[in-house]
Each structure stands twice: as structure tokens, then as C-alpha cells.
Amino acid sequence: MDPAKPELSFEVFPPSSPAGTAKLTQTLAQLKGIAPSFVSVTCSNHQLNYEQSTISLAQAVHRDLRCATMVHMPAAYVTKAQVRQILDQLEAAHIQQVLALRGDLDGAAPETDFTHASDLVRFIKRVKPQFRVTGACYPEVHPDSPDRVADIRNLKAKVDAGCDQLITQLFYDNAQFYRFREACAIAGITVPILAGIMPITNRQQALHVVQNCAASLPPKFKAILDKYRDNPVTLREAGLAYAVDQIVDLVTHDVAGIHLYTLNQAATAQHIYDNTASLFAPVTVAD
């Protein structure tokens, strides 16, 4: 890999319907041509069988794309015994990357062996020191945190527990990311921070994102949503152009990597790649 260039990676999620499976198949075929630095596979507390959804998709991604694969693991929904067994299973499949999360909680936190994501990070590093462990972070502050100071203090503890890198929650205002990165540096957080980018391709999705991820929309972006409210084709084009512009700015400002939330949309992943490919380090695919 070219050390002067950042990495481009992608997130996919396990489908929950036959239509979703068809979309995912198309997306994986597209990603195969792109050769990402890694692909991450999300988990959901609604998909109760974590192993049959996330783990088996991760194994398929690794086998079919022959690229580094990262498994999202929800601390709130797994026991220590399960984690040990899953890590063994992953290692046997040559997967050695985990995004250690607390997981989204529906109401009260379940009884579990882990309270915070940092507990899971520490446990994985103790059981499998050779695994690369990533943590989540929030340029606009995690919604449960009273303020930025507390959030960064907790993030520093998570990194000290063993995170090799961080991936951000999605954001649309790069200034928020630059402020956050500076605050991390001041707090002594020195691991690479990959920027999570989710291109907006329709108005419904934009409203959902703002509501659920507490991401602020800059005026330039709001104007696109308003102007093309009744023109979905143009809104999609403008949303993709906005994401490309955001990525170019981040790479220009030395971001460590871009993690693209694909939402299993093959055309979105391809469009972003086609318009930014030369910004990123090329990846060699194993035979």
C-alpha cells in the first residue's frame, strides 16, 4: 500500500429479506472489482442469531472478495464464552479484525458480561492479542454523553484498553470532524481515525439519519434537500456529489481513511469509487 495515501473501506449489513439478499449480492460483486482495504459487516440486536447473520456474512465476504474483513461485535449482546468461541471461529476463517461496540440499546441495557465497549476491547486483546481491534467514535458527541469532555475521556480509556484504530459515526460537516480530531490529539489519542461517510441518496434517508445519528446538516446540504425535494433523481446526484466533495476535502486534510457506509447500494459504492479512486492507496488482492 502507498503509505502517503489513505485507505478506502466499506460497510455492508446482513440482509433480512430475499430482496435485501439480492441487493447485497450485487454490492459484493461490485466491491470485488474495487478491492477495498477492508469490508466491515454490521450486527443488529434485532437479528438475534449473530453467528448466522454477521459472522456467516463476514466469512462469505472474506472468501469471495479475498479482502481483509472486519466483524462488528455488540458487547451488550454477547457473553465472554460466546466471544471466545466466535474469535476462534473467525481466526479459523482468517478473519482477525473486530469493531468492538457496545451496541445500540433498545430501552434498558441487558444483563451482560460487558458494560462498555472498552470492556470488550480489553477482553479481545487479552484473549487474542494478534487481532486488530477498532472502536467507534463520535465527532458530534455520543448521545448518552453529558458533554464532549466526558465523551473524549471515555474514548481515551477505550483506546488505552487496546483499540488499534477508530471509525467515526457518520457526519456531513467536516468542520465537526476536524474539531474532534484536534480534541483527540490534545487528549493523547494517537491511533488512526477513519471518517465514516454515508452518501445521502434520498430525502427519507436524510431525515432518518439526522434523527437517529444526531448528525448536523450544514446549510449547503440542507439547501440541496430543500431545492430537490420533489426531484429524486437530481437529489441523488447532488447527494453523491456532496459525498465526493466531502471525501476530497477530508483526504486533502490528511484523513487516515474513509469508511463508506454503503447501505448495500452497489451503485453508490461504485459511483464514489469511480470519482475518488486515485485519492486512495491501491490494494493488492491475494490470489
Q: Which residues bind ligand FAD (CB under 6 A)?
A: 42-45, 72, 74, 101-104, 116-118, 136, 142, 144-145, 151, 154, 157-158, 167, 169, 196
Q: Which is nearer to ligand FAD, 153 or 229 (CB)?
A: 153
Q: Which is nearer to ligand FAD, 74 or 238 (CB)?
A: 74
Q: Which is nearer to ligand FAD, 34 or 100 (CB)?
A: 100
Q: Shortest Cβ distance from residue 44 to ligand FAD (Å)? A: 6
**Catalytic residue chosen out of the listed positions 7, 11, 111, 140:** 11
Could you confirm whether 140 is annotated as catalytic? no
Q: Which is nearer to ligand FAD, 197 or 272 (CB)?
A: 197
Q: Shortest Cβ distance from residue 132 to ligand FAD (Å)? A: 15
Q: Which is nearer to ligand FAD, 102 or 271 (CB)?
A: 102
Q: Do the beta carbons of residue 100 and residue 75 sit within 8 Å?
A: yes
> Which residue numbers are catalytic?
11
